[in-house]
A and B are shown apart, each in its own frame.
Chain A
């Protein structure tokens, strides 16, 4: 027998072990083995990563192993038995999470003490900022094509699309391209807090300033602020906007008194290599909405044609993408949204797309209007 044609036993075993390792890796990503040592955030990140890196049709078969983090801001100061308590079962103080699992109750102090008030504001703002940061990192910082091939539709102009992002006509945009979403976090305020705050007597909820917190406070474990981290040091500060849980709360039925931090991704049929002026905009060298971006596109604040909009666009030519902050996209809470636009490549070519991290009121019609292509992951 020809010696060259023989396969050594060690080769066979090696091949088997390599294939086995690959399959084990995939199963591990998918959480089939339980992965009790991993946090839900880690599992979600792994499933997003595996989906984004798998080729073609196999990508669609990978479910996203993501569970929305449910944060209930509550207080111990006015203890009362929850009407939603079920004997022997842990329930949240927030009736918004009634019948749900995987929630986290955060206790704050609501009283006339100024120190306590400042600490309470800090805690709420921190959880909000961390939720934005977690969502941003978990979904790949806008660099991953999470819903490859799943969004459809067309948009006439990329510039128009990005203007839509800043709030000029978001509704028209999303109806054209049916974006998909992941709900990263849901943040609710319990009725106990509102009662203790005596309908705004202490003014804690009405003076929350999430933008200021994002601008001034560092991401835990780092020496960079949230905004600097999001923009890779391109933007140091964003405008002050009071995010009013109270606006949402006191005017609406209690079951919508929560905000959701949502990851949304859209892709166009535009080829990233042939969009001319739009590409210039993305790299930060075009006029947009009456504001001028510098050649590097960094740190220039401009006002869009919409009176209530103020935006900061940071074009990052070096990384081939652009990060865009749109403040005041939604009237209700004047919150900051984070968008990242870039070319997502597939087997054939590169399509322009944008990822958006957006705080939004937990309202069925508002979320459905944004996520026309549906929601993946668990709520």
Chain B
């Protein structure tokens, strides 16, 4: 008997093999799609939950909800009177995504506000939305001819909320004209010190009972810088 490819002589077996390969290809695509799309699904679920919690509040009510956002994503809002971006522009605090058009809009975006036009999960509200976060951080600086420690609490207000994979306490205040969503990260003591390192160490050895000198930014400093870069 004449043999074909791989010795397959049965046309039926060949068809069966092709069908099996097509099916496997379908499964592979579905698998890839599942992994790629997982973060977007999480973002969608989070926004659905957030919208549901806003809806549980009556006008004039407020409450704090423990939620977990999507790691690395940010929450930002625009009101209906804010302009939308043109096709060649980047979304910013003053230019909202096109899908928000003439609506009050709350969006969860990957990484930064600038990414809101690409893969954002947005929900629309019948009243203005206001998103804020604030952090108080203590900076420590060694300065002067005779170095001395100077400490200063710095308050940073931001127009977005950044999520990691931990819980976050979202304060939602619902009024007839506005929904406010805010997070207070509280006081974060920075371990960052600036100044001449040797002088700083001498000072510490001489009796300063504080954090050792560090040349790298603390979590607080990093977070402040992050918000400055990502929320505007």
Contact = CB atoms under 8 A, between A and B. Distances in A.
Contacts of A84: 56
A280 interface: no
A86 B164 contact: no
Interface string A284-319: 000000000000000000000000000000000000
A101 to B, nearest CB: 8
B55 A9 contact: no
B20 A13 contact: yes
Nearest to A17: B20
A24 B26 CA distance: 11
A373 B17 CA distance: 46
Interface string B9-20: 110010011001
Contacts of B196: none
A38 interface: no
B167 A368 contact: yes
Interface stretch (A25-33, A130-138, A210-218): A25-33
Nearest to B63: A255
A364 B7 contact: no
A98 interface: yes
A274 B99 CA distance: 59
B118 interface: no
Contact of A99 (B17, B49, B168): B49
Grouping DSSP codes into helix (H, G, I), strand (E, B) and loop, the B interface class, with mixed when no group exceeds half, is helix
A23 B24 contact: yes
Interface in A7-21: 7-9, 12-13, 16-17, 19-20
- The CB with the most chain B CB atoms within 10 A, among A9, A24, A30, A83, is that of A9
B31 to A, nearest CB: 6
Contacts of B65: 98-99, 255
Contacts of A32: 30-31, 34
Contacts of B31: 23, 26-27, 30, 32
A368 B64 CA distance: 16
B56 A98 contact: yes
Contact of A61 (B3, B8, B23, B35): B35
A183 to B, nearest CB: 9
A198 interface: no
A151 to B, nearest CB: 13
B66 interface: yes
Nearest to B167: A364
A57 interface: no
- The CB with the most chain A CB atoms within 10 A, among B9, B71, B167, is that of B167
Contacts of B119: none
Contacts of B8: 9, 12
Contacts of A6: 3, 6-7
Contacts of A9: 6-10, 13, 17
B58 interface: yes
Interface in B1-53: 3, 6-10, 13, 16-17, 20-21, 23-24, 27-28, 30-31, 34-35, 38, 45, 49, 52-53
Nearest to B66: A364
A253 B8 CA distance: 74
B20 A20 contact: yes
Contacts of A375: 68, 165-167
B22 to A, nearest CB: 11
Contacts of A86: 55-56
B20 A376 contact: no
Given A16-B24, A23-B27, A374 B66 contact: no
A13 B16 contact: yes
Contacts of B55: 86, 99
A362 B49 contact: no
A98 B27 contact: no
Interface string B62-106: 011111100100000000000000000000000000000000000
Given A19-B24, A379-B68, A374 B164 contact: yes
A378 B24 contact: no
Interface of B: 3, 6-10, 13, 16-17, 20-21, 23-24, 27-28, 30-31, 34-35, 38, 45, 49, 52-56, 58, 63-68, 71, 164-169
Interface of A: 1, 6-9, 12-13, 16-17, 19-20, 23-24, 26-27, 30, 32, 61, 63, 83-84, 86, 91, 98-100, 253, 255-256, 362-364, 367-368, 371-376, 378-379
20 contacts: A9-B6, A9-B10, A12-B8, A13-B17, A13-B20, A16-B17, A19-B24, A23-B27, A27-B31, A32-B30, A83-B58, A99-B52, A100-B49, A100-B52, A367-B166, A368-B167, A372-B166, A374-B164, A375-B166, A379-B167
Given A17-B20, A23-B28, A374-B71, 8 more contacts: A9-B6, A20-B20, A27-B30, A27-B31, A91-B56, A98-B53, A255-B63, A379-B67
